[in-house]
Amino acid sequence: MKTEKEKMLAGELYDPLDQQLVEDRLRTRLLIKELNDSREDQTEERTRVLQQLIPHAGDGLWLQPPFYCDYGYNIQAGEKVFFNFNCVVLDVTQVTIGSRTLFGPNVQIYTATHPMNHQERASGVEFAKPISIGEDVWVGGSVVICPGVTIGSRSVIGAGSVVTKDIPADVFAAGNPCKVIRQLDQQEDEQV
């Protein structure tokens, strides 16, 4: 029989009040508090906390506090990934982020979701869908990335967008819901 954590990671309905998951979230909240309370000149302290909070990250990960997540261990980040102020990652299941991807302030990444059926939802169970973000992606400020979405490498997501469906590589996409606006030329250097 699967544990609630195994169900959670598999994208199945699970009980978020399971003791192991409650303890995991508490550990994460304490690490987040350390990170968010640290001073700008405490780079060694921040690095130590980040290594515990997000153990599956490449070199050069930088989270500009404040930052929030559910577990941390479900975030897999490549090298030189940057999160600006006040980002939230609900990493109930896998969030994969490619190298050199940049997140503007207030970006929210949600793998967590709830049943559409009100009786199931009322029972307290929930589930999650993984999110994958390619390499060299730029996600503008206040973007919301919904459960199950994939964003292709080198794409740019315009500020304030709500990404509800997959976005291919090498495009500029924006809006609510987020839609492809145009292909990107590899030589472009344009402000979005």
Catalytic residues: 114
Helix axes 19-37, 43-53, angle to 10 degrees: 160
- Pairing type for strands 144-145 and 162-163 reads parallel
**Got the DSSP string for 71-128?**
-STTEEE-TT-EE-TTEEEE-SS-EEE-TT-EE-TT-EEE-EE--SSHHHHHTT-BEE
C-beta separation of 43 from 61 below 8 A:
no
Q: Return all residues near 40 (Cβ < 8 A) that are at least 6 apart.
A: none
The C-alpha angle with vertex 126 and arms to 125 and 129, in degrees rounded to 5, equals: 155
